[in-house]
């Protein structure tokens, strides 16, 4: 994921920018760049590849200036190249960006129709061109910046400079990280506080949608309505983990909030935004003779496979088997050379998943791993690797890795469907558009904290809970139950709603909360009859539905979380967010050790 740095100083800034860019390398990148302002001129150097290439350029062409911005780019829209590298510069505006702009096409078309010419394939240049357009139309820098942000959809962190405003940095963030750091005399902006840690004494973590206009002497922060707001400065204590948790009380909460950004990166590393196609596993061309796809994983990663089964059956139309690794490794199973086996693991070190991979190697056509840690054993031992690029997941309960696994598996289903010639151009585009819309939807529903807290208050006193879902949301009922039991220690079970009357309904009484996932889809009416079965037995129903579902039910006895309307295809990804937040706040109210729940390990390297 891209990294951002901005500096306001009394000294030359380019070498400090380089130092910080090196610290941001861990986020992954394929090009880097710096811009400064000197003598009322924007100076810029960009290079493809390693930061050393940029250093060499700067040693040949000095970059003077006491104000500057820098960037490590991890390609999404457009190949890694100098033209696509940041900072992007148009007219008097120069800026860097981390994130994905969902509506960049629409804005780009608008600007092209007005006669603007683009130099890169990036969504970032669209933002800079738009801001420059507002300036051409008489807006001052501040108003142009606000007006530009007002047009953007998606997840983004921005840091801009303006040629005629040499003393200021203009920054904002939405569902992407950005901090302001204060040194003895200098002011910094960065993607994280860790990369600035040797330069700063205190830090401000910006809230969602905050806009900050910074000079060496003044920090002016505004909310999205343009109202001045105060954000507390925190002193930097290098021994404290506040640096990496930011404003969040727990890593788990931070990682939940990172999902819009992480999901955007996970999908966009496979979406070719020019051709509107998913490009992955180019080595696999022939899928006509495939007999079966086998997905193997443990825990949350297994539930990601359970969601993927729906996608692969629908769009790839091959038999799909999913299995938990600890069972799979010991079963007598026949394999054929026309099968692909796919292993999903955040850590890439889970002993059972690794053993399952070793079991099938050489017996199936190819093994594919979907991992977060690309240097892991599972990645090294599988023939193809699909990285989910979620960044380090510290909270033991998996959150962002789950939705990033879903991102990659959804892309793979679309890609395989195309390779089998089963999907029309139109459907392909629609599915990609739906994936692109996910970060925006996630950002909106993550913010509705009070409703998750209200659900959590109802759940915290329960000893048991049932989660119900049908179809593609059944695996989400399993995942939501796992999240709740792991961190709040409340016994929870996930069931397919239709299975309720075959046993678990015996447990329902007035003490049993039943959390039901009920979007309006082809199974809505059936799910609602299951809800009524629970109500008839005095069960406490907590419903997660959409606006239409809520109005069709119109029941004051049911507590509801209302989500916006989205397609069935992306519904398991979106429903992950309320599942995680309900578990999180329930555990918070119970006072459990959320990031390190008892008896659990982050990486299960033993059987
Ligand atoms: C649950 C959780 C675990 C892991 C499982 C597999 O929140 O984190 O169930 O999903 O231990 O781990 P990985 O994905 O590392 O193979």
CA 84 from chain center: how many Å? 22
Per-residue pLDDT tens digits for 368-418 = 999 998 888 899 899 999 999 998 898 999 999 999 999 999 999 999 999
Interatomic CA distance for residues 82 and 344, integer angstroms: 34
Integer CA distances (angstroms), 262 to 95, 398, 405, 574, in order: 22, 13, 10, 14
Give nearest CA residue, ligand 1 atom 8.
Answer: 398
Long-range contact list for 502-508, CB < 8 A, 24+ apart?
Answer: 504/466, 505/533, 505/534, 505/537, 507/464, 507/466, 508/466, 508/534, 508/537, 508/538, 508/539
Query: pLDDT of 517-551, one tens digit each?
Result: 999 999 999 889 988 889 889 889 999 999 999 98
Structure confidence at residue 241 (pLDDT): 46
398 lines ligand 1 (CB under 6 A): yes
Residue 131 annotated among the catalytic residues of the structure: no
Query: Catalytic residue among 2, 131, 298, 516, which?
Result: 2
Q: How far, in Å, is the centroid of ligand 1 from the Cα of 299?
A: 5
Q: Ligand 1 centroid vs 346 CA: distance in angstroms?
A: 7
Closest C-alpha residue for ligand 1 atom 11: 299
Q: Which residue has the tokens 């130092």?
A: 19
Ligand 1 near 377 CB (within 6 A) = no
Give the rounded percent of residues in the chain with a pLDDT score beyond 70. Answer: 99
List, for residues 54-96, the tens digit of each pLDDT value. Answer: 999 999 988 999 999 999 998 888 888 999 999 999 999 999 9
Please list the residues that pair with 386 across neighbouring strands. Answer: 370
Ligand 1 site, residue 214, Cβ cutoff 6 A = no
Residue-level pLDDT at 243? 53
486 in contact with ligand 1, CB cutoff 6 A: yes
CA of 397 to the centre of ligand 1 (A): 7
DSSP state of 291: -
* Cα 604 to averaged position of ligand 1 atoms, centre (Å): 8
CA of 298 to the centre of ligand 1 (A): 6
Does residue 579 line the site of ligand 1, with CB under 6 A?
no
- Residue 1 has what pLDDT? 77
Question: What atom in ligand 1 is closest to the CA of residue 603?
Answer: 15
Whether 331 shows a pLDDT value over 50: the answer reads yes
| Top mutation candidate among 300, 307, 485, 576 for ligand 1, by most atoms within 8 Å of CB | 300
Distance of alpha carbon 407 from alpha carbon 423, whole angstroms: 19
Burial (CB < 10 A; 0-12, 13-18, 19+), residue 606, is exposed
Structure tokens given for 390: 């979620």
pLDDT of residue 237: 66
The verdict on the CB of residue 394 being under 6 Å from ligand 1 is: no
Question: What would the 3-class secondary structure string for 170-201 be?
Answer: EEEEECCCCEEEECCCCEEEECCCHHHCCCCC
* 11-15, 34-38, 178-182, 533-537, range with the lowest pLDDT: 533-537
Q: At residue 463, does pLDDT exceed 70?
A: yes
Helical (H) or strand (E) element with 572: helix 571-590
Residue 46 has pLDDT above 70, yes or no: yes
Active site annotation includes 602: yes
pLDDT band for 358, please (50, 70, 90 cuts): very high
pLDDT band at 602 (very low <50, low <70, confident <90, very high): confident
Which ligand 1 atom sits nearest the alpha carbon of residue 399?
7
**367 contacts: CB under 8 Å, gap ≥ 6:** 340, 341, 342, 343, 357, 360, 361, 381, 382, 383, 384
How far away, in angstroms, is 601 Cα from ligand 1 center? 9
Q: Is the CB of 597 inside a 6 Å radius of any atom of ligand 1?
A: no
Give Cβ neighbours of residue 143 (< 8 Å, ≥ 6 apart). 134
How far is 163 from 400, CA to CA, in rounded Å? 39
346 lines ligand 1 (CB under 6 A): yes
Tell the residue nearest (CA) to atom 3 of ligand 1. 299
Q: Is the CB of 352 under 6 A from ligand 1?
A: no
By the 10 Å C-beta count (0-12 exposed, 13-18 middle, 19+ buried), 64 is classed as: middle
Find the mean pLDDT for residues 121-150. 96
pLDDT category of residue 238 using cuts at 50, 70 and 90: low
543, 560 Cβ separation under 8 angstroms: yes
Taking only the tens place, the pLDDT of each residue in 561-571 is 999 999 999 99
Q: Is the pLDDT of residue 361 over 80?
A: yes
pLDDT above 50 for 150: yes
Mean pLDDT across the chain: 93
Query: Each residue of 263-321: pLDDT tens digit?
Result: 999 998 899 988 899 999 999 988 888 999 999 999 999 999 999 999 999 999 999 99
Instruction: For residue 329, give the H/E element and its range.
Output: none
Half-sphere exposure at residue 380, Cβ-oriented, CA atoms within 13 angstroms? 5
Task: Give the tokens for residue 129.
Answer: 């061109």
pTM: 0.83
- Which residue has a Cα nearest atom 9 of ligand 1? 299
């Amino acid at each position: 994921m891209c990294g951002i740095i901005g500096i306001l100083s009394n000294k030359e800034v380019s070498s400090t920018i380089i130092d910080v860019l090196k610290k941001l390398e861990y986020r992954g990148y394929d090009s880097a760049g710096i811009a400064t302002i000197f003598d009322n001129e924007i100076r810029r150097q960009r290079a493809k590849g390693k930061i050393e290439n940029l250093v060499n350029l700067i040693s040949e062409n000095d970059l003077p200036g006491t104000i500057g911005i820098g960037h490590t780019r991890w390609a999404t829209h457009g190949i890694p190249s100098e033209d696509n590298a940041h900072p992007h510069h148009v007219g008097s505006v120069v800026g860097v960006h981390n994130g994905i702009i969902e509506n960049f096409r629409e804005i780009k078309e608008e600007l092209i129709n007005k006669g603007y010419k683009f130099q890169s394939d990036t969504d970032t240049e669209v933002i800079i061109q738009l801001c420059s357009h507002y300036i051409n139309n008489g807006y001052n820098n501040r108003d142009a910046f606000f007006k530009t942000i007002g047009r953007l959809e998606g997840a983004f962190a921005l840091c801009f400079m303006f040629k005629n405003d040499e003393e200021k940095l203009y920054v904002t963030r939405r569902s992407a990280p950005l901090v302001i750091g204060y040194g003895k005399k200098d002011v910094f902006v960065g993607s994280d506080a860790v990369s600035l840690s040797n330069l700063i004494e205190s830090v401000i973590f910006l809230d969602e949608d905050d806009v900050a206009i910074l000079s060496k002497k003044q920090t002016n922060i505004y909310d999205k309505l343009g109202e001045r707001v105060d954000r507390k400065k925190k002193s930097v204590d290098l021994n404290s983990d506040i640096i990496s948790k930011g404003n969040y009380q727990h890593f788990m909460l931070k990682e939940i909030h990172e999902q819009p950004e992480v999901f955007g990166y996970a999908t966009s590393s496979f979406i070719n935004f020019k051709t509107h196609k998913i490009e992955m596993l180019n080595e696999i061309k022939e899928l006509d003779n495939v007999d079966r796809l086998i997905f193997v994983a443990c825990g949350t990663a297994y539930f990601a496979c359970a969601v993927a089964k729906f996608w692969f059956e629908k769009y790839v139309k091959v038999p799909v088997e999913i299995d938990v690794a600890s069972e799979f490794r010991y079963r007598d199973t026949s394999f054929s050379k026309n099968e692909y086996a796919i292993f999903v693991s955040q850590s890439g070190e889970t002993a059972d998943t690794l053993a399952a991979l070793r079991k099938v190697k050489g017996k199936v056509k190819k093994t594919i791993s979907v991992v977060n840690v690309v240097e892991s054993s599972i990645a090294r031992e599988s023939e193809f690797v699909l990285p989910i690029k979620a960044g380090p997941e510290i909270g033991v309960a998996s959150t962002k890795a789950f939705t990033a696994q879903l991102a990659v598996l959804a892309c793979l289903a679309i890609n395989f469907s195309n390779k089998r010639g089963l999907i029309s151009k139109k459907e392909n585009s629609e599915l990609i558009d739906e994936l692109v819309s996910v970060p925006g939807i996630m950002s909106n529903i993550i913010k509705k904290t009070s409703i998750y807290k209200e659900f959590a208050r109802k759940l915290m006193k329960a000893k048991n809970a049932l989660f119900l879902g049908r179809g593609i949301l059944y695996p989400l009922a399993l995942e939501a139950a796992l999240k709740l039991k792991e961190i709040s220690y409340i016994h929870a079970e996930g069931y397919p709603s239709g299975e309720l009357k075959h046993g678990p309904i015996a447990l329902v009484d007035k003490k049993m909360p039943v959390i039901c996932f009920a979007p309006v889809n082809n199974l809505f009416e059936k799910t609602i009859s299951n809800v009524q079965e629970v109500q008839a037995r005095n069960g406490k129903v907590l419903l997660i539905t959409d606006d239409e579902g809520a109005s069709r039910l119109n029941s004051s006895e049911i507590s509801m979380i209302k989500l916006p309307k989205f397609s069935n295809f992306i519904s398991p990804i979106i429903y992950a967010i309320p599942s995680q937040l309900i578990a999180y706040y329930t555990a918070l109210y119970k006072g459990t050790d959320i990031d390190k729940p008892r008896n659990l390990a982050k990486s299960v390297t033993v059987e």
